[in-house]
Amino acid sequence: MKIGVLALQGAIKLHQAHLEALGAKYIEVTGEKHLKEIDGLILPGGESSVMLKLVDIVGLGTELKAFAKSKPVWGICAGAILMARSVSCPIQPSYNVIDISIQRNAYGRQLESTEQIIDGYYVSFIRAPRILMVGKNVSVMKNLNNDPIWVESGNLMVTTFHPEINNATPSPWHIHFAKKCKGGS
């Protein structure tokens, strides 16, 4: 199984150890040819406004949307912002592949970033967004303080936190996503 990570900006390389620990091949996605060879794609955390510009520069926007219609995609933090139907604070374009509204930097600046234990595993919220609304086809998998932090719709998965920074590999979410990529859930 091959799982790609969009490799234009952000927390890319940290996924390699998690993916290899579960027996998947890690592919850095920088162009259309990589999308053709992977079974699932991670849109990593980083800076969504910068990632949007870089996706435009490499001309991958249409291909990313098409990929999300047929194969599993997991958006983490900035990646979640790219996948949302609408984005606020500030308003910015997005790929509208999952029916959620999301507010950027909703918990404050870098100094307000936190680590939390979710399902017994340390994860990081780094200038994290808040999911404000989920559509009827979207399932909330986990809440924290009444905010959805992990949601799914079919093959599409969103977490507002980063699990990949924890070096206990593979993280529960990498395992869960890999099952989707195998066609398992």
Is position 45 an interface residue for ligand GLN (rule: CB under 6 A)? Answer: yes
Are the beta carbons of 154 and 135 closer than 8 angstroms?
A: no
Q: How far is the CB of 173 from ligand GLN (least distance, A)?
A: 15
Are the beta carbons of 30 and 9 closer than 8 angstroms?
A: no
Can you tell me which of 28, 32, 47, 99 binds ligand GLN, judged by CB under 6 A?
47
Is position 46 an interface residue for ligand GLN (rule: CB under 6 A)? Answer: yes
Of 77, 152, 174, 181, which residue is the catalytic one? 77
Residue 18 is a catalytic residue: no
Is position 98 an interface residue for ligand GLN (rule: CB under 6 A)? Answer: no
Residue 89 is a catalytic residue: no
Of 164, 174, 176, 181, which residue is the catalytic one? 164
Identify the helix (H) or strand (E) that includes residue 25. Answer: strand 25-29
Is position 127 an interface residue for ligand GLN (rule: CB under 6 A)? Answer: yes
Can you tell me which of 6, 81, 157, 158 binds ligand GLN, judged by CB under 6 A?
81
Q: Which is nearer to ligand GLN, 46 or 148 (CB)?
A: 46
- Looking only at residues 58 through 77 of this chain, which bind ligand GLN when binding is defined by CB under 6 A? 77
Distance CA 83, CA 97 (A): 5
C-beta neighbour count of 169 within 10 angstroms: 18
Name the pairing type of β-strands 86-88 and 73-76: unpaired
Q: What is the DSSP string of 106-142?
A: TT-SGGG-EEEEETTEEEEESS--EEEEE-TT-EEEE
Q: How far is the CB of 65 from ligand GLN (least distance, A)?
A: 19
Q: Which is nearer to ligand GLN, 46 or 170 (CB)?
A: 46
136 vs 99, 125, 151, CA distance in Å?
Answer: 8, 26, 12
Distance CA 162, CA 138 (A): 20
Is position 156 an interface residue for ligand GLN (rule: CB under 6 A)? Answer: no
Residue 77 is a catalytic residue: yes
Is position 102 an interface residue for ligand GLN (rule: CB under 6 A)? Answer: no
Which strands form 156-159's sheet, in the order they lie side by side?
25-29, 2-6, 40-43, 73-76, 156-159, 147-153, 139-144
Q: What residues are labeled active site? A: 77, 162, 164
Which residues of the shown chain bind ligand GLN in the complex (CB under 6 A)? 45-48, 77-78, 81, 104-105, 126-127
